[in-house]
Amino acid sequence: MSNNVLWHNQQVTKESRELLTKQKPCILWFTGLSGSGKSTIANALEHLLYTNGNFTYLLDGDNLRHGLNKDLGFDDSSRIENIRRVGEVAKLFVQSGQIVLTAFISPFRSDREVVKNLVEDAEFVEIFVDTPLEVCESRDPKGLYKKARAGEIKNFTGIDSLYEKPEKSQIHIKNTQISVEQASQQIMEFLIKNKFITRSSN
């Protein structure tokens, strides 16, 4: 970083935004294989939070590759840079007082740890959407596993690229034994119990 780049302090702080939004900002980091249900559950959860009166934003891996990360490939170094950028964006949302939901395969534990270290410990909530490879492959909503098996896609997580399961995720969703509604409600209860949000009386 250049010595001529200095940090500019802002008058409106994260704490002042917390008072305004009446919630504790955090990163809800959904991780799991392609087809595990990360985006589906994250979408359902965001709707619950919206109806509860909370301020949120959902960052989805595919969506960001249409813009912010469209210059990146899927080799290991590109995956690392993809998650680094997402982490920095998520940090900005936390600073703005919002609850940011992120749905990314994010296969490497070290990369998820990097994002965790960008914010305070309690502000990073890792959500492991645990769905067996054979189930994800049978769903194959985008036809990606079929292409990976045919050799048309290289470095595909779970096929020819490693996925490192979380060792101590705060929320572990076994997505063969639970509905989308139950999964999103499970996360809501976690957020209420740990005082990130309060339940709306509406």
How far apart, in whole angstroms, are the C-alpha atoms of residue 65 and residue 85? 11
Is-contact 97 25, C-beta < 8 A? yes
Clarify whether 179 is annotated catalytic: no
List 34, 106, 161, 184, catalytic entry: 106
* H-type alpha helices, 1-108: 14-21, 38-51, 61-64, 76-95
How far apart, in whole angstroms, are the C-alpha atoms of residue 129 and residue 198? 24
Closest CA to 101 of 49, 65, 51: 49
Catalytic residues: 106
